[in-house]
Structure 1
């Protein structure tokens, strides 16, 4: 999907003026409260952390807070799960885990809570064998095959990870498919271990791949790139930074006594004294900033010793300052200074100025103005267009900020007022299921007929599967089901990256205005809803992305307030939807299914996972909704086939559950 470009909004329109008034109210009332809240939250959390560290000195506490940590509870461990099928991926698996755990401390520690804070405790005995499990030969009296592997995997995911071990587990499953033995690896890891140690789920498997194959990957997912990234502002910042850096380095070389000790061999003037004073202040700020980042705190009593040390290493004393001041009052020195400046102006005006004017004229006529880098023409030709583009981008960003507060409140609290039929009292245990693989070829054919992208087509089949779930469960089909949607690239699962991707709030229409069960109309409504979300939820996407990357919300708001707010939102948005896209250039991996656990009061998580030329729907839900959750994955391929028939695409067959690399599967054989 094409990215929306920066645009100039109607600055005289009534809605825009209303948004400005709303923003002024927000800035005058909310921002000061947020600033005060940030200071209070940071100080109180630091004090509480210091107190708990004093009470439990043997523990290593988790300093960073996150949304998922706040919503964690005893019955919701927040376990990310990845199921991988392939060849030779279990070779040297134990050796790989031994090496990985030896280099990562938290993999050898148990996770606990002390006084409301997460903490890592050393284990008396650690063994990889407690975390690397091998499936039995049979499950419930039957051999594990394609007919019951889903039931077995779901039975494993229902069990909590042992509290007396580190919160990670790798299970090797031996499964017979059409009489041929296949191996699956089920990786389950707590979100704190992944976040704190900067790990991916695939790091727990000895996979072989080249990072160069992941560089150029594009996706048409509507859940990413809700706004085009600014281009002129970063380039302007880079150029100004480079220019300032060059100027500053030249300033250091000419005026820093540490670089030029001969400065003090003669009497210095007041101007040079001021320059050295600036250097002392800047170096002091650098040291204080570095210390603040190391110890995550700064005391006022530390400032004066650092300032004195930086002045002492440069021999910058009060005596030097007083002598410089007296020297500047000397009439002889002042006369010499004035004469030198007059001489410089005379030489510049008489000799240098004609040469400079000639260079400016040559640069003005030249089509390659960068050939004359020292001219004013070259500087203006470089900076003026960039400044103009940056100003337009800044204006567009300001316009989006003006609209943000009202749009966020409307989306999160005022729109879509309805009951959440998926709301249950969770037990915390999670069950999983996944669908047969459907070919991307049929998605391309439907897309060519309808003009919808593949994600919108998959969402239509998902909505139809949800309707079947409601019917089978005896529940009334609601007008729509609210979901939070997030895009995850294959790279994020297999190679750690730092892309800040936010969330999108999406309404899935289970009922449509004209026809109740018309898949084409559902597709059209989904397209409109996605288009509306992409045009109005820029701020939500940016804020949630900033929270994931920098902890924006958790550093400004108290955890108790955030928990109340998020529990309310997860009651409204009953499904957590994840779209996984991108190539899978991993040697030996035939297929993969990823589950992102639901959190808060959200009871179901869905994953649309594309790998190679196939797509699967994965479902993770609270055990209280099982086994009805399998209805969704069973119906998904049929719904996609019905959509294809509705738009005139010839009937297709699902991929065969063959275990060969040509047609890999983890199908339960429905």
Structure 2
């Protein structure tokens, strides 16, 4: 099915809409700059006032999105469940937790995680840490019995805790619950610090064979990093470094003693002054990096004294500087210089045609072969640099175009995504009364690598979280849609919403939204925007064939489940986590959805089996077509047919042009599987 091309009028309207959205966003930048200054000053004065009112409290100066959206019903508690093989030894786990987390020291012999010993309180709408409360580890380390709601945990009620968990071998569970403020700020920790799992060295990871097909989630590639610009920057730095080293070896008496054989001219003196200045600044930089804070700071007099010392090292005195112009303009050098210029001109006159010929040959080789093989040409010397410049300019232009289109796409894909047929929290009851099935559900989606969950932050949880935090996209998913259509929607959103992903990453790493907008206004905006989104989706990816991890006390971790609390008006949070050879789904929903909140988890195994069956069927079809193209008619063994509807086939046909990279071939008119074909022996 070929999509119709848009008319000229439609494209002009879109371009005008993009132009207006861009200039509105640019016009708002001065307002945001003024708002940033006002918010920072007001926040500083307000927290100073609170600190003077409550001197025993340590107030949190940085606001995050979760801090703004915290309520008494949703306090932003992150939960991680570990299923560990072996026999439970509470004292051993408690000792490892005490040594590795609670009593762990930094290089200055201070507590690495002091916030674990403090109590989190709230004063006048601001969070603060109270260090005066007596810390008792037994209040945070609880050994629960094998009962749930007064009943023995068994096969019938275990799904309220984790699905599935039926095993004949000894097994126990560790549930880690941590407030999000412990993962941000100074002296913060990472979730991996509390999981107490052994770290995997990069050299120990299993390298996937080149012949094995692997595909990363498109959510992990929201902001593709440029390749030509960093390569060009490195190439320019390398060339400048080589040129500087040649310059120093030619004119610096410290590196080349032959430079002292003659008196320096004006240009030689200028070069010596430049070398002395660079050397002085380098030495001062080394001293300032290793200097104690009690020493005097670097001033202009200090810099001049350092330059004078470097000039004295090179025997550059005031008399030599004064007579350097006379040495440069010495009349005795004029005849030799004139003869040399004439000889060079004659030589260039005869050699120029040959050089032009070699340059043309090199350009032709560069056009046909991709590289020049004439080593004595300018094309061979600067071809790679020129190609890098062209590629870098192309990347920069694409980036500028993305920035230009970002405001229009941001508004269209987020605020303007609701056309009245999508799920809205205020018009659809989530309890099942007077509800109807929406045509599409607006969803927020993001992804992270498994290292985000297991790595020890060693007191730098905030920095590590910033480096690992990716972007977010907004999806419009149709309930019951085929995997092909969902893949097309996700891929299109990842291509269009790079600005949203970059903005969300900027907020997570630098607090761009919470620092530039007043807290009440930011809270209001986030709540209004989240009214349109009913679902939050996240996935934690792992490399293929990753072995199971072990705890610090040597027991194997059988499964990991990670729950993220939904934010603002989002009513359900889904997290898909890959661990070893398993893929698990964690569901955290609003209390009003009980008891329907377990439906996604109970249907998860069936959905995975149906997906695998569909993929096997498509692989069988593609293999059969390949054999038919080769002139053979093999026997096709079809897997068990998965029930499908005609509506699903129509959806696949509609989204064919948007999913050319998927595994599924163009749909056929028949819904039934292909017939059994057998090769007839002659």
Indicate the TM-score class for this superposition, using the shorter chain for normalisation.
0.5 to 0.7
Q: 1:214 to 1:599 in 2, by over 3 A?
A: farther
Q: Is the 8 A contact 1:236 1:387 kept in 2?
A: yes
Kindly indicate whether the alpha-carbon contact (under 8 Å) linking 2:358 and 2:374 is maintained by their aligned counterparts in 1: no
Deviation sequence 1:447-486 (CA, Å, 0-9, x none): xxxxxxxxxxxxxxxxxxxx9x968565332232211011
In 2: Cα distance, 1:614 partner to 1:223 partner: 19
Structure 2 residue 492 is the aligned partner of structure 1 residue 503: no
Counterpart of 2:571 (choices 594, 603, 611) is 603
In the alignment, does 2:217 pair up with 1:221? Answer: yes
1:275-318: CA deviation from partner (whole Å, max 9, x where unpaired)? 37964997699799989xx99xxxxxx99x6333333333389x
Q: CA deviation at 1:526?
A: 3.0
- Within the candidate set 412, 416, 419, 2:418 is matched to 416
1:309 aligned residue (299, 302, 308) = 302
Residue 184 of structure 1 and its aligned partner are, at CA, apart by 0.8
Cα distance change of structure 1 residues 69 and 35 upon mapping to structure 2, 3 Å threshold: same
C-alpha distance after superposition, 1:352-392 (max 9, x if no partner): 9999999x969969999899999744431221121122222
Report if aligned partners of 2:565, 2:573 keep a CA contact under 8 Å in 1.
yes
Whether the 8 Å CA contact 2:372–2:379 is kept in 1: the answer is: no
Matching residue of 1:566: 526
Matched ranges for 1:272-421 at <5 A: 275=274, 279=278, 306-315=299-308, 327=322, 335=330, 376-418=378-420
The alpha-carbon distance between structure 1 residues 152 and 394, as it changes in their structure 2 partners (threshold 3 A), is closer
Is the Cα contact below 8 Å between 1:490 and 1:581 reproduced in 2?
yes
CA displacement at 1:601 relative to structure 2: 2.3
Q: Is this contact kept in 1: 2:82–2:173, CA < 8 A?
A: yes
For 1:87 and 1:353, how far apart are their aligned partners in 2? 84
Query: Are residue 211 (structure 1) and residue 201 (structure 2) matched?
Result: yes
Alignment of 1:582-621 (within 5 A): 582=542, 583=544, 584-585=546-547, 586-587=549-550, 588-621=556-589
In 2, Cα distance between equivalents of 1:181 and 1:268: 86
Measured at CA, do residues 371 and 50 of structure 1 come closer, stay the same or move farther in structure 2, by a change above 3 Å? farther
| 8 Å contact from structure 2 (residues 81, 174) kept in 1 | yes
Partner of 1:602, secondary structure, is: coil
Question: Partners in 2 of 1:272 and 1:545 — Cα distance?
Answer: 46
Contact 2:425 2:532 (8 Å CA) reproduced: no
Aligned partners of 1:140 and 1:337: how far apart in 2? Answer: 106
Alignment correspondent of 2:270: 271
Higher normalized contact order (CA 8 Å, seq sep 6+, divided by chain length): 1
Give the whole-Å Cα distance in 2 for the aligned partners of 1:206 and 1:531.
36
Residue 625 of structure 2 is aligned to residue 625 of structure 1: no
Partner residue, 1:202: 192
| Structure 2 counterpart SS, 1:133 | coil
Is the alpha carbon distance of 1:388 and 1:19 closer, same or farther for their aligned partners in structure 2, counting shifts above 3 Å? farther
| 8 Å Cα contact 1:97-1:128 kept in structure 2 | no
540-549 or 108-117, larger mean C-alpha shift: 108-117
1:492 aligns with 2:452: yes
What is the DSSP-based 3-state SS (H/G/I as helix, E as strand, rest coil) of the residue aligned with 2:174?
strand
Distance 2:52 2:376 in 1: 60
**Shift of the alpha carbon at 1:190?**
1.9
- Which of 222, 240, 243 is the equivalent residue of 1:244? 240
TM-score (norm 2): 0.66
Contact 2:85/2:172 (CA < 8 Å) preserved in 1?
Answer: yes
Question: CA separation in 1, counterparts of 2:255 and 2:45?
Answer: 42
Q: Give the deviation of 1:404 after TM superposition.
A: 0.8
Please give the TM-score of this superposition, normalised by the length of structure 1.
Answer: 0.67
1:562: how far off? 2.4
Q: 1:38 to 1:382 in 2, by over 3 A?
A: farther
Q: 1:133: which partner in 2?
A: 142
How far apart are the structure 2 equivalents of 1:478 and 1:307? 70
Is 1:211–1:495's contact at 8 Å kept on the other side of the alignment?
no
Query: 2:436 is matched with which residue?
Result: 476
* Residues 80 and 596, structure 1, Cα contact 8 Å, conserved in 2: yes
Structure 1: which 5+ residue stretches go unaligned?
1-9, 155-174, 296-301, 425-466, 511-518, 653-670
How far did 1:235 drift? 1.1
Aligned residue number for residue 159 of structure 1: none
List aligned pairs for 1:509-524, cutoff 5 A.
Answer: 509-510=478-479, 519=480, 521=481, 523=483
Match of 2:94 in 1: 94
Deviations 1:158-217 (A, max 9, x none): xxxxxxxxxxxxxxxxx9956754201111122232244564423323323523355768
Q: Given the superposition, is the C-alpha separation of residues 151 and 395 from structure 1 closer, same or farther in structure 2, using an over 3 Å criterion?
A: same
Per-residue CA shift, 1:321-340, capped at 9, x if unaligned? 99699838965665589969
Going from structure 1 to structure 2, the CA distance change for 1:333 and 1:18 (only over 3 Å counts) comes to same
Q: Is the contact made by 1:221 and 1:579 (CA closer than 8 Å) also made in structure 2?
A: no
Distance 1:257 1:408, change over 3 A: farther
Q: 1:80 to 1:639 in 2, by over 3 A?
A: same
Query: Structure 1 pair 28/642, CA: closer, same or farther in 2 (3 Å)?
Result: closer
Please name the residue that 1:661 is paired with.
none
Residues 391 and 82 of structure 1: CA distance in aligned 2, closer, same or farther (over 3 Å): same
CA distance in 2, matches of 1:616, 1:129: 31
Whole-angstrom CA distance in 1 between matches of 2:437 and 2:396? 45
Q: Flag the 1:289–1:257 CA change in 2: closer, same or farther, 3 A.
A: farther
Structure 2, unaligned runs of 5 or more: 1-7, 106-111, 209-213, 457-463, 551-555, 618-637, 643-682
RMSD: 5.3
**In structure 1, C-alpha distance between the alignment counterparts of 2:492 and 2:284, rounded to whole Å:** 47
User: Residues 509 and 290 from structure 1, CA distance in 2 versus in 1: closer, same or farther, beyond 3 angstroms?
Assistant: farther
Alignment match, 2:511: 551
